[in-house]
Amino acid sequence: MNMENFISGYPGCEFQIRAALAETIGAEKSEFFFDKFLEYFFQESDAKFFSNLGLNCIRLPFNYHHFEDDMNPRVLKKSGFKHLDRVIDLCAQYNIYTILDLHTAPGGQNTDWHSDHGVWNHKDFQDRTIWLWEELAAHYKGNKWIAGYNPLNEPTDPYHTRVIGFYDRVYNAIRAVDSEHAIFFDGNTFASDFSHFGDSHEKWENTAYSIHDYSTFGFPAAPEDYVGTESQQRRLRRSYEKKREWMDERGLCVWNGEWGPVYARKQYEGEATEKINEVRYHVLKDQLAIYNKDRLSWSIWLYKDIGFQGMVYVSTKSAYMTKFAGFLAKKHRLAVDAWGADVSAVQHVYQPLINHVLEEIPEKFRDLYPAPVWKLSDRVGRLARNILVAEFLVKEWASHFVGMDESQLDDLAKSFVFEECEKREGLNKILTDNATLVKEA
C-alpha cells in the first residue's frame, strides 16, 4: 500500500504516476488497475508461503493517501481499511503477526522519494499524522495479530529534536485509545540515529526501537568486493552497533525493521548475475550471524517486487514485465530509481555537476543534512536523476496503458499474484535456516 518505484517499476513518486494514469486512461480504469494491483499483490497463497518459511512477523508499509485526501483532510476514508484488513486477516490465518508501518505521512517525514519532504516544518502535517494514528488505533484496538504500530518510517529531522516531540505526541495519542499494542519508534536519519533521544524513553512504556541496518556491501555502489574478511565483518558489526548504541546503554528493546541486499538480474547484469548474487548472499549470512548472536528480531525488506530485492518477484514472462521490458531497461540504464542504483552508464553526465559543486562551494558548506548518510553524489543523484529526469518518464510509463480494457488491465495486475511469481530460493533458504535458529535459541 506504498508503491515504491523500484518495487513495481514506475518512475518518480506514487502521486505522479497515479495522476498520470488517471489522465491517460481515465479515473475509473486507473482506479480499477490500482485496486486489482493491491488485490493480487498479497493473497492467501502469499501468507501460506511466508509462514512455511518459518517466518512469523511481517511489516506492512502503507501510504496515508489510502485514508485521507489532501484536499479533504481529517476525513477518514474507510475504504483504506479494505486491503489492510484483508492482509492482516490472511496473515492471522497462518499465525503471522503484523506491524503497521506508516511509510508515507502527510507532508513527508523524510527527504527521500517515497515520502516527499515537509512534515517537520508544518505542524498541521504532524497534527494530521497523529489524527490518522488515533483512527488506526481505534480500528485495530484488541486485534491480537497486530504486533504493534510503527508510527513513522525513517524520519529525517535536521534538528534532531522535533522528531522526539512528535513521538511524545503520537505516543500519548495512541495510548489514549490503545494501551496494549507495542509501539516501534524508528531512529532519526533513516532509522540510524538515536543519539539525541536522551531520556525520552522514560515516558514511553511497551515501546521498542527500530533500526534499519542496510550495508553498502549489499548494493551496487559497494566500496569493495565483499569476501568476508575480518575488517569487512568488523565494519558490518560496527555499523550495526552504532545504530543500537543508545538502546544498549539503557537496556531497551531493539528491532531491525528493515535490512537486506539487492540482487542482480540476468536481463541487466547478464553472465555476472550469479556471481554478484553469491556475494550478496554472503553479506546476508554475515549480517544474520551478527543478529543471531544478539538474538535480534528482524523484518527483511522486502517480500515482493519486480526482481530487485524481493523474496518473491514478478516473472519476466508475465504480462506486466513483457509490457514494460523496454521501459524498465531504460529506467535501469538512466538510474532514475534511487534505491540501489547502478550509475555506471550515466555517471559521465552527472560528474561535471558534482565537480562544479566541488569547485564552487567551500568544503565546510557542502555537508547538507542528511550528510554523512547522503554524500554529495547522493544529493545530486536525488535531485537530478531521481526527480528531474524521472519526472519526464512519468507520462511515458502511463502511455503503456493506452487502449487497454479492464480485462487487459486485470491481466497486468495479475502478474503480481503469487502463483505467477518466481521465488528467490537462495534468499528464502537463508531466511528459513536463520528463522529456525532464532526460534530454537
Per-residue model confidence as pLDDT tens digits over 161-209: 999 999 999 999 999 999 999 999 999 999 999 999 999 999 999 999 9
Please identify which of the residues 4, 14, 68, 258 carries the catalytic annotation: 258
| Local confidence band at 439 (pLDDT 50, 70, 90 cut-offs) | very low
| Local confidence band at 438 (pLDDT 50, 70, 90 cut-offs) | very low
Q: Annotated catalytic, 440?
A: no
Has residue 441 got a pLDDT over 50? no
| Local confidence band at 110 (pLDDT 50, 70, 90 cut-offs) | confident
Has residue 440 got a pLDDT over 70? no
Cell of 431: 531466511
Q: Annotated catalytic, 28?
A: no
The mean pLDDT value for 92-121 works out to 82
| Local confidence band at 114 (pLDDT 50, 70, 90 cut-offs) | low
Q: What is the predicted pLDDT for the residue at 113?
A: 57
The mean pLDDT value for 223-250 works out to 97
Q: What is the predicted pLDDT for the residue at 437?
A: 60
Q: pTM of the prediction?
A: 0.92
Q: What is the predicted pLDDT for the residue at 6?
A: 87
| Local confidence band at 18 (pLDDT 50, 70, 90 cut-offs) | very high
Q: What is the predicted pLDDT for the residue at 122?
A: 84
The mean pLDDT value for 120-125 works out to 84
Q: What is the predicted pLDDT for the residue at 91?
A: 97
The edge-to-edge listing of strands for the beta sheet with 421-423 is 304-305, 312-314, 421-423
Q: What is the predicted pLDDT for the residue at 116?
A: 45
Please identify which of the residues 4, 14, 68, 154 carries the catalytic annotation: 154
- The 3-state secondary structure of the chain reads CCCCHHHHCCCCCHHHHHHHHHHHHCHHHHHHHHHHHHHHHCCHHHHHHHHHCCCCEEEEEEEHHHCCECCECCCCCHHHHHHHHHHHHHHHHCCCEEEEEEEECCCCECCCCCCCECHHHCHHHHHHHHHHHHHHHHHHCCCCCEEEEECCCCCCCCCCCHHHHHHHHHHHHHHHHCCCCEEEEECHHHHCECCCCCCHHHHCCCEEEEEECCCHHHCCCCCCCCCCCHHHHHHHHHHHHHHHHHHHHHCCCEEEEECCCCCCCHHHHHHHHHHHHHHHHHHHHHHHHHHHHHCCEECCCCCEECCCCCCEEECCCCHHHHHHHHHHHHHHHHCCCCCCCCCCCCHHHHHHHHHHHHHHCCHHHCCCCCCCCCCHHHHHHHHHHHHHHHHHHHHHHHHCCCCCCHHHHHHHHHCCCHHHEEECHHHHHHHHHHHHHHHHC
Share of residues in the chain with pLDDT > 90 (%):
91
Has residue 226 got a pLDDT over 80? yes
Q: Which of 2-6, 255-259, 274-278, 399-403 has the lowest mean pLDDT?
A: 2-6
The mean pLDDT value for 284-308 works out to 97
Q: What is the predicted pLDDT for the residue at 107?
A: 87
Mean residue pLDDT of the chain comes to 95
| Local confidence band at 235 (pLDDT 50, 70, 90 cut-offs) | very high
Has residue 59 got a pLDDT over 80? yes
Share of residues in the chain with pLDDT > 70 (%):
97
Instruction: Determine phi and psi for 315, rounding to 5 degrees.
Output: -65, 140
Q: What is the predicted pLDDT for the residue at 121?
A: 74
